[in-house]
Amino acid sequence: MLARAKPEFAIPEVCRNFVNGQWVISSVRLPVINPVDEQVLTEIAEADTGLVDEAVRAARLTFEQGVWSKLGLEDRQKVLFRIADLIDEHADELAWLESMNIGSPLSQCRGRHVPRAAYNFRFFAEYISQSRSDAYTQLENYLSVVTREPVGVAALIGPWNAPIALTSMKIAAALAFGNSCVVKPSEISPLTAVRMVELIRDSGVPDGVVNLVNGSGTVTGAALASHPDIDVLSFTGGTTTGRAIMSAAGKNLTPVTLELGGKSANIIFDDADFDRALDGALISIFSNNGQQCLAGSRILLQEGIAEKFMDAFIQRTRNLKIGDPLLPETEVGPLATKQHFERVHSFVDTLEADGCKLLVGGKRCSGFDKGFYYEPTAVLAPDNSAVVCQEEIFGPFAAFQLFKTPQEAWDIANDSKFGLLGYVWTSSYATAMAAHETVKSGVLCINSPIIRELRAPFGGYKESGVGRESGAACEAFYSEVKTTAFLTGDVPLRKLGLGEA
């Protein structure tokens, strides 16, 4: 096993809160468990209602003072670019922290998650320089100008499965449009958020503009979501939690964006490029240890290639390198928590009643005395009503189904309470266009695993979320539209109250 200590990197003994430029300790501590050895990795100092209120008030004060909200666009750009540069400079450290915290392979954290975080800040720095305003002159004697202003204080609640990539997207967007914010990372994975906030401070963002509160969803998250002085709230996580957050925010009429769960169909036709579709299916379900909302967890196979594809998929699955996520050859690491491990395994208990056949996996990995290691798993389901085809498992757990016709594939794909992503593999332009017109998902990938184009909206249909994230979607969410009408000509006004008949 690779030694897990890294003398050049440090894990804080306690993940503190960052409020108005000061690191703040609280008395309530929650342990953060290392998913590899099940030992306490660090603790978080939980922010209670009072500390959350202090963080919101600090964000409000800085917003009203204009230390960031009224800063010139070019000056804001320079800071955002500096944040990106600092993330790049500390990429090895951030990737190590992320891997230690959530068990995702270090190669994936270093190759995808951390570069994406830096790119988020660069993207929005560039985006704001291209923003434009509208002017209307059609109404005679008037010029109507449409401008945008920062909305105020943003509550940003990040997920545990890819914390640096997804939480940085929210921070970058909120800052780009001039807002102050309060960030709450997941209590499961606080390490990279804490370090990123340190880098944001070092970049020159004024104290109080970015605040961080740690804690559980039931305490810290609830206090933040229900706070009356939050102007907008963005959350990425599970659908059940999303409902609770939307309900709490709704009492204050706080606008929300919610990126929630998925049960994406990965549809593979007989005429697909077999090897590419196989690679794509493995990537879509086993990347990040299967802990991703965009996983292609329902693999729909046209009957002509079904047996060959499943055989190849099972063989490749058995060959996956499972181990310490810090090892460069590791492809799948442990699940993030014991509770999540038990939840993933619980779906095996549903297979017999639903008539599903276990093809590979379905149990704890052998050879590991410690750690939440779960075998990459695949089952064959008789139809889409099986629990493993309807519920988001959020682990390395694929469910195969067979279909004959394109229409049958579309019907299966759309028979879900989720609608985040869809994947289609075919060499037929007509089939690809039919998928585009028929599959009910916020994002659809043709002959490719997920690709995130930040200029294009990302979000889901149905229970997969509310709202979208992208350059334009974030601009609309994190800013207010103002229309100002200027009188440009002589327009007589009615004279009231003169007493004339």
479-487: strand order across its sheet? 134-136, 142-150, 479-487
The continuous run of DSSP H or E covering 182 comes out as: strand 180-184
CA distance 309 to 232: 46
* Residue 293 falls in the annotated catalytic set: yes
Instruction: Please report, for residues 89, 226, 447, the alpha-carbon distance to residue 249 in angstroms, rounded to integers and kept in the order given.
Output: 37, 5, 39
Q: Do the Cβ atoms of 151 and 231 come closer than 8 Å?
A: yes
> Hey, is 142 helix, strand or coil?
strand
180: CB partners within 8 A, 6+ apart: 58, 59, 60, 62, 63, 68, 69, 152, 153, 154, 174, 208, 209, 210, 211
CA distance 421 to 299: 13
Burial of 75 (0-12, 13-18, 19+ CB in 10 A): exposed
Active-site residue, selected from the candidate residues 259, 463, 469, 475: 259
Ramachandran quadrant class, 499 (left: phi over 0; alpha: psi -120 to 50; beta: rest): left
Whose tokens are 């460069």? That residue is 328
CA distance 129 to 124: 9
| Residue 183: closest CA among 158, 202, 147 | 158
Q: Do the Cβ atoms of 63 and 69 come closer than 8 Å?
A: yes
Burial of 142 (0-12, 13-18, 19+ CB in 10 A): middle
CA distance 31 to 39: 9
CA distance 322 to 104: 11
Active-site residue, selected from the candidate residues 15, 109, 181, 293: 293
* Residue 259 falls in the annotated catalytic set: yes
What is the rounded end-to-end Cα distance, in angstroms, of the chain?
Answer: 97
Active site residues: 259, 293
